[in-house]
Amino acid sequence: MMQTVGYVGLGAMGGALAGHLTLGYDLLVLDRSPAAVAVMEAKGARGVVSGAQLAREADVICLCLPRSSDVRAAIFAPGGLADGLTPGKLIIDQTSGVPGQTAAIATELAARGVMMLDAPLSGGVPAAQAGTVTIIASGPDDAWAKGEALLHAMTSKVYRCSERVGDGQALKLVNNAIGMGFRVAALELVALGRKAGMGLAGLVTGLNSSPSANFTTRGMLVGLVENRSTTNFALSLMAKDLSEALALGLATGCAMPLTGATRSTVQMGLALLGKDAKLDDIIGLTGKLAQVEMRGEGAADPDLQALIDIGVLVGNVIVVSECVAMGRQFGLQPAQMARILNAGSAWCAASETLLPALAAGKVPELPVTLGEAGGALSALAARSAHLGTPFILPGIALALVQEAARRYGPTANLGRLTFGYEDQSASG
C-alpha cells in the first residue's frame, strides 16, 4: 500500500523537496500560500485545510519552516498536527532550527508515542530541485527505520549523524558557519587582490590550484568569474543560522571569533541591503567596502597570489577549527563531523587532512608553518592598509596565528593552532 506523507511548508526549499515525493507517495500538503498548494496539487498532491487533518491521514509528516518556534506552533497550536497525531506516527523536522528547542519538541511528542527525526538541509534550492541537496539527520533507531527511505526519495545525499534529536540541526549550524566564514574571508582577500590590479579569473584559478581551495572558491568565485549567481539563499536566514551557531558557542564555552566577525558582516549587509538581500549580495558589498569592482581583468602578481593563497588557507583552517570545536563540546562525534562536513559546503582542501586528524586526536600536518602564516598575513595587512580594503576576518586570523607562534614557536606547523581549539595537549 502506498504510504501517505504530509508536508508542511512549501517555500522554495520545502516545495522543492515535497516535489520529489509526488512520485511513489500519496502526498498531502499544507501551506499558508494557496498558490504554493496549487503548484503541488498540479503535480498530484492533495491540499488539506489544517494540520490536524494532515496528521490524521498521514503516516509521516515533514515540516520545513523558517524557525523552531514556527514548528512548535504548527504542531501544538489549536488545530495543529498534535490534534491528529496518534502513536506510531513520525514527524521529520527539516527546518534549520534550534537544537535544544527541537529536542524539547521530540520529548513532548515521545510522551504521546510519536517519533521524531530532525533532518535539516545543506545546499541551495537548485540542489534541492535536482535531488542532490545534503540532508543531515538525527534521531532514534525506530524513527530512522521509518523515515530513511522517505529522505532518500528527496535526495541522493542523506547522512545520519547520531541517535539524539537536535544533533542534525547542530551539525547544520556548524556546516553553515564554516561555509559563510569561507565566503567572507575569501572575498576580503579577493577584493585586496583586485584593488592591487590582479585579474579575477587568474586570482580564482590560483586559489583553486592551491591548498587554499574551498567550497566557496570552487563555487561562488567561479560563478563570479562566469557572471552567474550560485545561490538565492536569503541573507536573513544566514544571519539566523550564524546567530544560533554563536549561541551554541557561548553555551558550550567555545570562542568563535571568526564566526562572530562573519555574523557582523552579514548583519551589516542586511542593514545596508535590506531584508530581501541574498547571500551573493555580500560580493557587491565587499567590493563597495573596498571601492573596487570585484569582477574584471588585470595583471598576474605571483608574489601577491602566494600571500593571498596562504591567507585564505589560514582562514579556512581557523573557521573549521572553531566551529568543529563547538560541535564537539555540544556532543557531536568527531568522526561523524569529518564524514559529513567534507561532503558539503564546509569542504576545503585542508579539511581533508584536518578533520580526520582531529577525529583521531592528532595534530594535523598542514602545508604552512605558523611563522609562514603570520608573515603572509602581516604582509597582506600592510597591503590592505595601503590600498584601503576591508581586513576583518584576516586581521583576526593574524592575531590568532601570532599568539600561536608565541606559544609553540614560528617553526611549528599551522596544525598546532588547530589542535589548540580542541582544548587538548598536542602530542609529538
Instruction: Collapse the DSSP code of 147 into the 3-class scheme (helix H, G, I; strand E, B; otherwise coil) and give the result.
Output: helix
User: Residues of CATH 3.40.50.720 domain(s) within the chain?
Assistant: 4-165
pLDDT at 427 over 50: no
H runs (alpha helix) in 331-369: 334-341, 351-359
The string of DSSP letters for 255-310 reads --HHHHHHHHHHHHHHHHH-TT-BTTHHHHHHHHHHTS-SS---B--HHHHHHHHH
Q: How does residue 420 score in pLDDT terms, banded at 50, 70 and 90?
A: low
The pLDDT score that the predictor gives to residue 418 is 81
- Amino acid letter, residue 220: M
pLDDT in tens, 208-244: 999 999 999 999 999 999 999 888 888 998 999 999 9
Q: Kindly tell me if the per-residue pLDDT of 297 is higher than 90.
A: yes
Is there a contact between 51 and 81 (Cβ–Cβ < 8 Å)? yes
Listed residue (159, 132, 126, 94) closest to 342, CA to CA: 159
- According to the model, what pLDDT value does residue 1 have? 59
pLDDT confidence of residue 423: 46
Q: Residue 226: helix, strand or coil by DSSP? A: coil
Decide which of 3.50.50.60, 3.40.50.720, 1.10.10.10, 1.10.10.60 is the CATH code for 4-165: 3.40.50.720
Say if CB 384 and CB 377 are below 8 A apart: no
Q: What percent of the chain has pLDDT over 90?
A: 89
Cell numbers for 332, please give them: 557531536
CATH 1.10.1040.10 in the chain: give the residue spans. Answer: 171-420
CATH number for the region 171-420 comes to 1.10.1040.10
Coil, helix or strand for 100? Answer: helix
Contact 140, 84 (CB under 8 A): no
What's the CA gap between 423 and 66, in Å, rounded?
A: 34
